[in-house]
Amino acid sequence: MRERQKPVVAEPAESVSGLSSEFLESFKAAMDLCQTDEVQRQAETLHPADLADLLEALPSEKREDLVDLLRQDLNPAMIAELDEAVLERVVNQLSAQEMADAVAEMETDDAVDVVEELGEKDRRDVLDALPIGERTLIEEGLSYPEDSAGRLMQRNVMALPAHWNVGQAIDFMREEEDLPRDFFDVFLVNPTHKPIGSIPLSRVIRTERRVALSDLMLEDMKIIPGTLDQEEVAFVFRQRDLVSAPVVDAGGRLIGVITVDDIVDVIHEEHEEDIMRLGGVGEEDDLYSAVIATTRSRFFWLLIHLLAAIVASYVISFFAGTIEEMVALAVLMPIVATMGGTASVQALTVAVRAIAMRELTVSNALRAVCKEIIVGMLNGLLFALLIGAVAWSWFGSPALGGVIGMAIVINLTVAGFSGSALPVLLQRLGFDPAVASSAFLTSITDVVGFYVFLGLAAFLLL
Amino acid sequence: MRERQKPVVAEPAESVSGLSSEFLESFKAAMDLCQTDEVQRQAETLHPADLADLLEALPSEKREDLVDLLRQDLNPAMIAELDEAVLERVVNQLSAQEMADAVAEMETDDAVDVVEELGEKDRRDVLDALPIGERTLIEEGLSYPEDSAGRLMQRNVMALPAHWNVGQAIDFMREEEDLPRDFFDVFLVNPTHKPIGSIPLSRVIRTERRVALSDLMLEDMKIIPGTLDQEEVAFVFRQRDLVSAPVVDAGGRLIGVITVDDIVDVIHEEHEEDIMRLGGVGEEDDLYSAVIATTRSRFFWLLIHLLAAIVASYVISFFAGTIEEMVALAVLMPIVATMGGTASVQALTVAVRAIAMRELTVSNALRAVCKEIIVGMLNGLLFALLIGAVAWSWFGSPALGGVIGMAIVINLTVAGFSGSALPVLLQRLGFDPAVASSAFLTSITDVVGFYVFLGLAAFLLL
């Protein structure tokens, strides 16, 4: 949610974007000297988002000290801004009642966001400590699937009857207390509370009081089902340049609104997921997670790569005799594998990105795969000449140059095919195309590379 | 910019997000049958963003036919939504005057965005064909550095004198014609046109007419210099949950406004850049670029990897004699290299993400690198046991198991160190940490892996 209600005077603490490292250093120094008044004063002048960044940047002992110092009136907006790993540690320091008090002050979307990140037990304790009204709203939000529109929505919506005019709308907005803190669109509803159109707020304010709202209404409005996946929601917002969108329940009734600030966070999360998966690390693996947790989360992925590498080694072992006769093969074989692996990761990256952007679909997959095969073959031919020449001049054997050249062409063509076809296939089968692809791919290009290179050598050179 | 002014009736053409593949198929079929009326009718009912997606999804000959069919009244908003590679081809089909007519109808931020993507000659021709007023505004936008706030801003700003009250503001907004199409915040300026505060529009509309605007004003406002990098701007928007922010010139005067829909696009671009660079492909390498352009853009990166692979081969060649005596080394050596490469890419991914999120800075770099070294060592020990056991049982040599175990521990520790320290170093030196890191890194772990494994084997086993 937007958080701007508290005007603060000039903040020398920060540069235009984020906390300055000078501020961080002086703040840490003040903590070291136990200047608690100064520390408290500085922390209180910070914007909640900056305070959250400050907590994240501090080493864990200092972070605990600061939370203790501020726990009397911990800003709920700050808690909503914390990174998941840091939030977990801050929550451990607070009582369930303290957390519940903070959560009760948040808007529903932030509250659901914080509560869903808590562990099973913490979640129960905090929910139990909440007033029944807030608790019900949060539990309703949590009843929607993880990463769905229902989890992102703010329950308080600016909805008006479609038969009102601008004057009635403005009078209502001035008189009614219980409205969203900030809103950008007015949604018009019919008597069964189904949304029938939207009006950007700037058009309401620019129009004479006597004009009917229905005359301003845009019917071409995207209506978001509460169960829609957040990735789809983000796509709609980005494609239509939306600032807010209405959310409906299974019966089509308006139950909430999603605002663009939450979508900005979703886009970040989804991209991070892609990057982390392509890089073979877990989503929870970040700067703030502990050494043991990090080691464990990486172990699994390394194990997959180990199994793939063992398969490649097994292939090499078929040709142990060939290598003994011609050790140049052992020297050159990593080149074939490296080039194939690189080319397949290139094709994979483009495919994963295109799938995320909705550019690569079933209808053009064949075209995309064919293109990658041709690109692989062309670069294969270019590098065959280059590497063939290197091998020839290095080991003085034109035949060896020819063999490695052929292996390169074949391996880069296979790389283009598998790097584009595998993510499409995974997507089709309902898996995330970024996950596991790179391990499978380098395994394919290693095996093909070693097999083709050593096999051709055994057949043609010996 | 937001584009919602045209109410359209129900669009069976699309699912909630994007075009359905059924629609695509039926549209293509209509084109094949040359049902031009039907094609035109269907295209005209589409939202501009959907029409842009449709053009992107069509094969190039069909795309050209469709542009010819629609060229009488090509929707400027559709052009603004096109992907760079497709835009280039559409521009080639249109005359400079046709492009200028479309650009003149766009808001300044969209117009700058389209014009900056044109080639040098096209850009000049289109600018020359523009009315002088639009041309000046666009050239002013282009005078700001690429990827800066000045390129993103919309020139038409909702700015009001700070001494007005709500009633005056509402009357002005109702009477003035030349206002931004949609706006979300009102900016208050002093007599020298410097921004002194902002008010969310919903607070203006909810307040009695007699209240002074200065009483509603939030002073804690982020002011964006026109020269600020777009990545910094995006950080500010995300961190503060902003919907719009004022842009000032070097003298601090208000010259424009950036809205969140442009920021959503920036966040996408920046993330894509990261993914593409980590994957070793150029930014312009997407589904729509031609085979030759793609081959060329990948060639460079493959060449870097080839040079790295040749260095690794050179290291292996030192130990040719060792391998001849013990061919098991050639069989096992790719395992050491693969594990090191995987571990270093894991550390790199986490570091690149943390740098992008502003979590990893100079002040905590040492801590992050130390953590990665420990994680590398711990996983190194675990995999040393595992791989050592495999090597022992496979080749019946406990000593060989011990040697490969030692090599794994050393290589994974080096991987943790270099995977985290290299991106921090590149960032410090002013380079993008994602670019080139993965080629350097796998080169480091290949060289270290082969050297340590074969060197230890030569020293201890023979």
Decide: A233 and A224 in contact? Cβ < 8 Å: yes
The tens digit of pLDDT for each residue in A137-180 reads 899 989 999 889 999 999 889 999 999 999 999 999 999 988 88
User: Which chain B residue shows the shortest CA-CA distance from A236?
Assistant: B17
Count each helix (H run) and each strand (E run) in chain A, helices first. Answer: 22, 6
Decide: A439 and A308 in contact? Cβ < 8 Å: yes
The reply to whether A384 touches chain B by the CB within 8 Å rule is: no
The reply to whether B268 touches chain A by the CB within 8 Å rule is: yes
Contact A182 B203 (CB under 8 A): yes
Q: Name the residue facing B280 among A310, A316, A345 (closest C-beta).
A: A345
User: Which chain B residue shows the shortest CA-CA distance from A54?
Assistant: B359
Interface probe for A, chosen from B54, B170, B206 (most Cβ of A below 10 Å), is B206
B9 band by pLDDT with thresholds 50, 70 and 90: very low
Interface probe for B, chosen from A274, A304, A353, A382 (most Cβ of B below 10 Å), is A353
Closest to A438 measured CA to CA, from B349, B57, B54 = B349
- Chain A residues with CB inside 8 Å of B197's CB? 7
Closest to A384 measured CA to CA, from A419, A346, A365, A410 = A410
The reply to whether B367 touches chain A by the CB within 8 Å rule is: yes
CA distance A362 to B308: 37
User: Which chain A residue shows the shortest CA-CA distance from B186?
Assistant: A202
Chain B contacts in chain A segment 163-202 (CB below 8 A):
170, 173-174, 179-180, 182-184, 197, 200-202
The reply to whether B217 touches chain A by the CB within 8 Å rule is: yes
Residue B43 has pLDDT above 90, yes or no: no
Residue A41 has pLDDT above 90, yes or no: no
B46 Cα to chain A: minimum distance (Å): 10
CA distance B130 to B124: 10
Share of chain B above pLDDT 90, in %: 48
CA distance B412 to B381: 9
Question: pLDDT value at position A62?
Answer: 85
Residue B190 has pLDDT above 80, yes or no: yes
The reply to whether A17 touches chain B by the CB within 8 Å rule is: yes
Chain A contacts in chain B segment 124-153 (CB below 8 A):
none
A17 band by pLDDT with thresholds 50, 70 and 90: low
Contact B57 A387 (CB under 8 A): no
Decide: A227 and A148 in contact? Cβ < 8 Å: yes
Residues B216-232, mean pLDDT to the nearest whole number:
91
Enter the tokens of residue A391. 């091998």
Q: Say what the pTM is.
A: 0.79
The tens digit of pLDDT for each residue in B313-368 reads 999 999 999 999 999 999 999 999 999 999 998 899 888 888 877 778 777 888 88
Residue A54 has pLDDT above 70, yes or no: yes
Q: Name the residue facing B331 among A241, A320, A338 (closest C-beta).
A: A320
- Chain B residues with CB inside 8 Å of A284's CB? none
For residue A188, the cross-strand partners are A160, A197
CA distance A246 to A223: 6
Residues A28-48, mean pLDDT to the nearest whole number:
84
Chain A contacts in chain B segment 72-111 (CB below 8 A):
83
Residues 6 or more apart from A462 whose CB is under 8 A from it? A322, A325, A326
Contact B182 A174 (CB under 8 A): no
Provide the residue type at B416 as one letter. G
User: Which chain B residue shows the shortest CA-CA distance from A349?
Assistant: B279
B223 Cα to chain A: minimum distance (Å): 8
Contact B261 A272 (CB under 8 A): no
Closest to B441 measured CA to CA, from B272, B307, B308 = B308
Q: Name the residue facing B16 among A21, A184, A222 (closest C-beta).
A: A222
Residues 6 or more apart from B399 whose CB is under 8 A from it? B460, B461
Phi-psi domain of A252 (left: phi exceeds 0; alpha: psi -120 through 50; beta: other): left
Residue A39 has pLDDT above 70, yes or no: yes
CB–CB contacts below 8 A, A to B: 422
Residue A285 has pLDDT above 50, yes or no: yes
For residue B259, the cross-strand partners are B244
Contact B306 A375 (CB under 8 A): no
User: Which chain B residue shows the shortest CA-CA distance from A25?
Assistant: B363
The reply to whether B337 touches chain A by the CB within 8 Å rule is: yes
Decide: A28 and A40 in contact? Cβ < 8 Å: no
Share of chain A above pLDDT 90, in %: 49
- Chain A residues with CB inside 8 Å of B57's CB? 359, 361, 363-364
The tens digit of pLDDT for each residue in A107-148 reads 888 899 889 888 888 889 999 999 998 899 899 989 999 889
Q: Name the residue facing A287 among B170, B265, B350 (closest C-beta).
A: B350
CA distance B438 to B310: 16
Burial string for A234-259 (b: 16+ CB within 10 Å, else e) reads bbbbbbbbbbbbbbbbeeeebbbbbb
Domains, chain B, with CATH or none: 21-152 (1.25.60.10), 159-258 (3.10.580.10), 291-460 (1.10.357.20)
Interface probe for B, chosen from A170, A182, A322, A409 (most Cβ of B below 10 Å), is A182
Decide: A411 and A336 in contact? Cβ < 8 Å: yes
Residue B432 has pLDDT above 90, yes or no: no
- Chain A residues with CB inside 8 Å of B237's CB? 264
Enter the tokens of residue B297. 């853009």
Cβ-in-10-Å burial (0-12, 13-18, 19+) of A177 comes to exposed
Burial string for A364-395 (b: 16+ CB within 10 Å, else e) reads bbeebbebbbbbbbbbbbbbbeebbebbbebb
Chain B contacts in chain A segment 36-55 (CB below 8 A):
47, 49-50, 53
Question: pLDDT value at position B284?
Answer: 66
Residues B382-404, mean pLDDT to the nearest whole number:
96
Residues A91-96, mean pLDDT to the nearest whole number:
86
Enter the tokens of residue A206. 């620019």
Percent composition of chain B: helix, strand, coil (DSSP 3-state, to 5): 65, 10, 25
- Chain A residues with CB inside 8 Å of B370's CB? none
Residues 6 or more apart from B342 whose CB is under 8 A from it? A280, A301, A302, A305, A439
- Whole-angstrom CA distances from A255 to A80, A192, B10, B11 are 22, 12, 22, 23
- Whole-angstrom CA distances from A222 to A164, A257, B11 are 22, 12, 11
Contact A264 B260 (CB under 8 A): yes
Contact B323 A330 (CB under 8 A): yes
- Chain A residues with CB inside 8 Å of B450's CB? 334
Decide: B344 and B415 in contact? Cβ < 8 Å: yes
Element (H, E) at B303: helix B291-318
Contact A16 B239 (CB under 8 A): no
The tens digit of pLDDT for each residue in B67-105 reads 888 887 788 888 888 888 788 888 888 888 888 988 888
Contact B53 A239 (CB under 8 A): yes
In the three-class reduction of DSSP (H, G, I as helix; E, B as strand; rest coil), residue A370 is classed as helix
Stronger pLDDT, A439 or B196, i.e. the higher one? B196
Question: pLDDT value at position B3?
Answer: 41
Residues 6 or more apart from B290 whose CB is under 8 A from it? none
- Chain B residues with CB inside 8 Å of A273's CB? none
DSSP H helices, B241-290, are 260-278
For A261, phi then psi, to 5°, come to -65, -35
Residue A2 has pLDDT above 60, yes or no: no
Residues A3-11, mean pLDDT to the nearest whole number:
35
Question: pLDDT value at position B15?
Answer: 54
Residues B169-174, mean pLDDT to the nearest whole number:
95
Question: pLDDT value at position A435?
Answer: 65
Contact B219 A9 (CB under 8 A): yes
